[in-house]
Structure 1
Amino acid sequence: MQLSVLHEATSKSQPRTLIIHIGHHKTGSTSVQHALALEQVKINGIAPFYGAALTHNHLVRHGKEIVKETNKASVGHQYFLELANGMRQNFANTDNRICVISAEDFEHFSPSHLRKLVNTYFATMFDVVKVICYVRPHLQRTVSSFTETTKIGACTDDMETYFQQCTESGIFLFAPDLAKWRKVFGDNFIVRPSIRSEMQGGSLINDLFMSTLDAPQIAVAEVDNQNESLSLEDLLRVKFLHKQLRKRTRGFHHAYGWTLMRLTEKLPKSRTATKIQMHRSLAERVHAFYLEDARELDATYFGGSPLMQTALQEGLDNACETAQPSTAQQVFTKSEIRSLRLAALMINELLMNEEQRWPEFLHQRRLDAM
């Protein structure tokens, strides 16, 4: 299919602009999405049109159905048609000159497929379509993604094993994938470093709009940080609880991990909490593996300034000397492990109830046990 050229600005007034924020993961996307969904951001005095309760990741999941152009009678295909047409209608109904789509799951989406979706449903309603991507330095991204995948129950191994899996998949070799995005979207594709000292206006939200709009006036209400990092101790608790419920579905573990994260944040911070770190011998291997990719990113997207190379070296310099514990049993007493196991057993018991009132269900479970 021949892809049409995205529309350029047609007047000297504020061009109608669609900003597509594609993440990456672990670059602060959740905080941006919360602020946009709650209309805590004003551009030139007006909140950008966002149109999502939280994220547009559902567009990514169901968008894969439409680009295949197969099985058009499938439920997924039909759902996406309703979704895309609904978004198109929302964009058409709003007078806002700035609209935003934000979905970090686009990180692993085909850029040509996204271009097709944009051209098919949205491009004709906008003067300008910008795609913006944030890249977190390699070593820091490895640690953060290890923590994230452990949190949602997708990773049950230690950081060493996780890095080995990363090298085999090439998941954090960013330059080749970004080259594909630039080839498809050209100058409309913007790459920014996920490094706070490099953020325009001192924050991710300011940087996002300053990088995609011409001299915007930005006002941001006080925004709570979302998806903050767990301590090592809390991560091991979460990992242990996931293991006790390992027979549950992947979808359950994802939602369960996020719930544990949310509830953990409500507790007072422990003074003895340990920051999750990579140990030196592993950091040396990570540095060696990603150095060439960091150089290519710096040369291609950051004007030759060694941002990614410096961050990679800083990650190595800040590594701890020995590997941190990877299981709850290495950190907690037998009594604490017993309490965690008891909590997991109770959770599993409660999850079996889908119909009865809780007192009746628990009483019946007692009778069943007898």
Structure 2
Amino acid sequence: MVGEIVFHLGDCKTGTTSIQRTLAAGKVTSAGRSVIYSTRSHHIPLASTLNRAAEAKFADKRFSDLAQKLQRSSADTAIVSAETFEFVDPRKLEQMIDRHLAPWKGKMRFISYVRPHADRMVSGFAERTKQGWHTGSMDDLADRFDKKGLLHFAPRFQRWRDTFGEAHSVRPMVRSLLRDGDVVNDFLHFVFEGESFSYEPVPVANESLTLSDLAALRRMHGVLERRAGSAAAVQAARRTFGWNLAILLSDLPKPEDAGKPRLHEALAHRLIETYREDAETVDRAFLGFEPGTGPLSKALHDAPARAVPAPQPIAAEAYFEPAALRMIDGTAELFARMLHDQPELMAKAMRVPGPGAVSAPSRPQNKGKGKPGPGRTPGARRAARLKGGPAGRKAQPASAAGRLARRLPKGLRRKLSPLRRYLP
């Protein structure tokens, strides 16, 4: 079995995608230590069982599956990475460790990266806007963050420290303080504890969006919310839509005068008043800096100097002519139809494969033993229908009942399918 487990806990917007893609590509090597990364992307489904009620029923299964993979491996270090551990109660993770990962108790390390408050506010606004979680202003989001305590980092880190002691480390997501200015290098230095290592960097799309990008996405999500419905599958497809459209937009040339989302001065001063004490506590208690000299305190102090004088407009009308708005609305209406009718299929089709990505295995078509016989494969069945079937039955034009059946929900369509032969 593996020798130890390193849990990479996030936070969100701290280079987690770069770390995960590098690990998933399998290009990390060290002469003195071997590693295993047991997923093709990330361990968010594992973390979700601990912070999402709908996923809780899968917790034992997913942690048991992880334990079995680690038992079978002879690697020195296993890495588990999910930025959504940020939203997990560490005591719940401790319970799963006791239940499924007990052989590695005392052989675990945990690391969180923390982004300064002002930067996290701006990146959080862009992230939630592109995925349709937030359609208001940055001030509105600041109210929500404050109410939920999402940017009060010190209490959360203290809960992890209380649960796992000195095994939990915190690193600042500040380029000048990262090893070689790179979060992947910094993280791997933590994993290998100073031993030499090498890795091949994996290109990661720069997902920074312009103000006009965000305004267009905000308007499109408004149409999708009104027209596509609120089913869980539709909501998930909307997030996939926003996420992957942002990646595509990031790869396209940007106008020279394109602006990026920024704090305005009044909000920057408000953040200072709200989070000054939290920044000082994180700097002192978790990063080891003297009061007032740490990276979070400095970044918060400098926020007004980097802010714009007034709030930036968020309405699409501020960036697009009527003809462009018409095209945005029409495109969103078309996507709304497709998301409403086939949300799972659309979500799958919209995903942008990353470097080294592996396609998900298709569902086995042969439910019996052995190979499918002649004419039993899905392709053969479709061909047979077009040619009139194995018995030479000629294809019939679609009846009114058939046309109606195709418009029914898939579940009801399957239930009625045995009766279609008796319908006129």
> After TM superposition, is the score higher than 0.5?
yes
Q: Which residue of 2 aligns with 1:6?
A: none
Shift of 1:298: 1.0
Please state how far the C-alpha of 1:143 moved relative to its aligned partner: 0.6
Cross-structure match for 1:279: 264
The Cα offsets for residues 333-354 of structure 1, whole Å up to 9 and x where unpaired, read as 1111111111112222334555
Q: CA deviation at 1:23?
A: 0.3
Provide structure 1 residue ranges, at least 5 long, that are not aligned to the other structure. 1-14, 69-73
Equivalent pair of 2:48/2:55 in contact (CA under 8 Å): no
With over 3 angstroms needed to count, the CA separation of the structure-2 counterparts of 1:76 and 1:135, relative to structure 1, is: closer
2-side partners of 1:47 and 1:225: how far apart?
A: 24
In structure 2, relative to structure 1, the CA distance for the partners of 1:226 and 1:99 (3 Å cut) is farther
Distance across 1 between alignment mates of 2:313 and 2:165: 45
Counterpart position of 2:72: 93
| CA displacement at 1:255 relative to structure 2 | 1.1
Q: Which amino acid aligns with 2:284?
A: A
C-alpha contact (below 8 Å) 1:232/1:275 kept by paired residues:
yes
Aligned counterparts of 1:177 and 1:342: Cα–Cα separation in 2:
44
After TM superposition, the runs of 4+ consecutive aligned structure 1 residues lying more than 4 A away are 352-355
Q: Distance in 2 between matches of 1:47 and 1:155?
A: 42
Query: Root-mean-square deviation (CA), in Å?
Result: 2.5
Q: Deviations over 1:127-182 (max 9, x none)?
A: 62001001100011011001101111000101111111112222100001111110
Q: Residues 296-343 of structure 1: CA distance to partner in whole angstroms, max 9, x if unpaired? A: 111111222421111112222110112111110122111111111111
In 1, Cα distance between the equivalents of 2:73 and 2:98?
19
Q: What is the match of residue 193 of structure 1? A: 172
Instruction: Look up the SS of the partner of 1:154 in the other structure.
Output: coil
Partners of 2:7 and 2:109 within 8 A in 1:
yes
Alignment match, 2:201: 222
Kept after mapping to 1: 8 A contact 2:12/2:84: yes
Return the match for 2:187 from 204, 208, 226.
208
**In 2, are the aligned partners of 1:49 and 1:99 still within 8 Å (CA)?**
yes
CA gap of 1:336–1:45, structure 2 versus 1, over 3 A, is farther
20, 24, 43: which is aligned to 2:11? 24
Letter in 2 for 1:281: A
> How far does the alpha carbon of each residue in 1:178-217 deviate from its partner, in whole angstroms, 9 at most, with x for none?
1111011111000110111101243112211323443221
2:297 paired residue number: 309
Closer/same/farther in 2, CA of residues 90 and 312 from structure 1, 3 Å limit: same
Q: Secondary structure at the match of 2:37?
A: coil
Instruction: Please report how far the alpha carbon of residue 270 of structure 1 lies from its aligned counterpart in structure 2 after TM superposition.
Output: 2.5
Give the corresponding residue for 2:391. none
Is 2:24 aligned against 1:37? yes
Q: Which residue of 2 aligns with 1:58?
A: 45
The answer to whether the aligner puts 1:171 opposite 2:150 as a matched pair is yes
Q: What secondary structure sits across from 1:274 in the alignment?
A: coil
Structure-to-structure mapping, 1:1-370, within 5 angstroms: 16-44=3-31, 48-63=35-50, 77=57, 79-125=58-104, 128-226=107-205, 228-247=207-226, 248=229, 249-304=234-289, 305-354=293-342
Per the alignment, residue 71 of structure 1 pairs with: none
Q: Is the 8 A contact 1:22 1:133 kept in 2?
A: yes
Give distance in 2, aligned partners of 1:144 and 1:215: 31
Equivalent pairs counted in the alignment come to 336
Separation in 2, partners of 1:18, 1:123: 11
CA distance in 2, matches of 1:238, 1:47: 43
1:31 and 1:226 in contact (8 A); partners too: no
User: Greater CA radius of gyration, 1 or 2?
Assistant: 2
Alignment CA distance shift 1:63-1:167 (3 Å): closer
Give the counterpart letter for 1:317 in structure 2.
Answer: A
> For residue 283 of structure 1, what is the amino acid of its counterpart?
A
Distance 2:122 2:209 in 1: 12
Provide the rounded CA distance (Å) in 2 between the counterparts of 1:48 and 1:93.
13
Aligned residues with identical type, % of pairs: 28
Look up the match of 2:371. none
Counterparts in 2 of 1:180 and 1:125: CA distance versus 1, 3 Å: closer
Check 1:153–1:105 CA distance in 2 against 1; reply closer, same or farther (3 A cut). same
Quick one: distance in 2 between partners of 1:197 and 1:75?
38
Bigger relative contact order (CA 8 A; separation at least 6): 1
Deviations 1:247-289 (A, max 9, x none): 4432122111112112212322332221111111111111111
Deviation larger for 337-346 or 39-48: 39-48
Gaps of 5+ in 2: 344-397, 408-424
Contact 1:44 1:218 in 2 (8 A): yes
Using structure 2 for the length normalisation, give the TM-score: 0.74
Q: What secondary structure sits across from 2:256 in the alignment?
A: coil
| Paired amino acid for 2:11 | H
TM-score scaled by length of structure 1: 0.84
Q: Which moved more, 1:314-323 or 1:43-52?
A: 43-52
> What amino acid maps onto 1:277 in structure 2?
R
